[in-house]
Amino acid sequence: MKVSKAIKICLDYHRNHSKPNTIRSYEAILTKFGLIFGDTDLEKISSEDILTFLDKITDGTKQQTRRTRYSHLAAFFNFIINNIDERIQNPCVNQLLKKLYKASTPVQWDSFEKETIDEVIFRTTKLRNRLILELMARGSMRIGEVLKLTPDDIAGQKLIIRDPNSGREQKIIFITQKTLSSIRGYFPYLMRQPDLW
């Protein structure tokens, strides 16, 4: 089987069964892979070919990006082996490749104590900024999620985040009664001056 045909089968499967972010990721790597190896038989792709390809497309990127590209390529070959032709060997299953594209050690961030965060929030004088900090600290929200909030997204002690980064349709954030009171106190002000949010 030609690489181009295998890529088409794999991408068609993902378009029917995967989330948009997954589809975009696979399309990005497999399109480049198809441009170089499209007319090659899948069985003839070697570990050296994979290494050369990955080095070319991941040059200058972070280790996590390199690992992700390698994982997508390995998953592509696994998909073909499991669903089309089990006689094909996965060229990504190679000790050298696994070592070169292993996951990077996660960065351990220093966390602030609750008292420090509370002090920062309470020392913030502008109501809008104080509410943003409070939602980020108490609701574990990203800044983009906070800035997209509208009055319609408040449902009791729940905030509805539409189109979160996770790819889901929505995400629910539970907040304290005190944070809810702060939000309710701010939104009437917001209705009078909508350009401030």
Amino acid in position 51: L
**Position 108 confidence tier, pLDDT thresholds 50, 70, 90:** confident
**Position 112 confidence tier, pLDDT thresholds 50, 70, 90:** confident
More confident residue, 33 or 190: 33
Can you give the pLDDT at residue 188?
67
CA dist list (Å): 70 to 30, 141, 160 = 11, 31, 35
Provide the phi-psi class of 52: left if phi over 0, else alpha when psi is between -120 and 50, else beta: alpha
Amino acid in position 3: V
3-state secondary structure of 46: coil
Domains identified in the chain and CATH numbers: 3-100 (1.10.150), 114-196 (1.10.443.10)
Please compute the mean of the pLDDT values over residues 155-183 and round it to a whole number. 81
The verdict on pTM exceeding 0.85 is no
| Opening angle at CA 186, ends 191 and 145, nearest 5 | 90
* Mean pLDDT estimate for the chain: 85
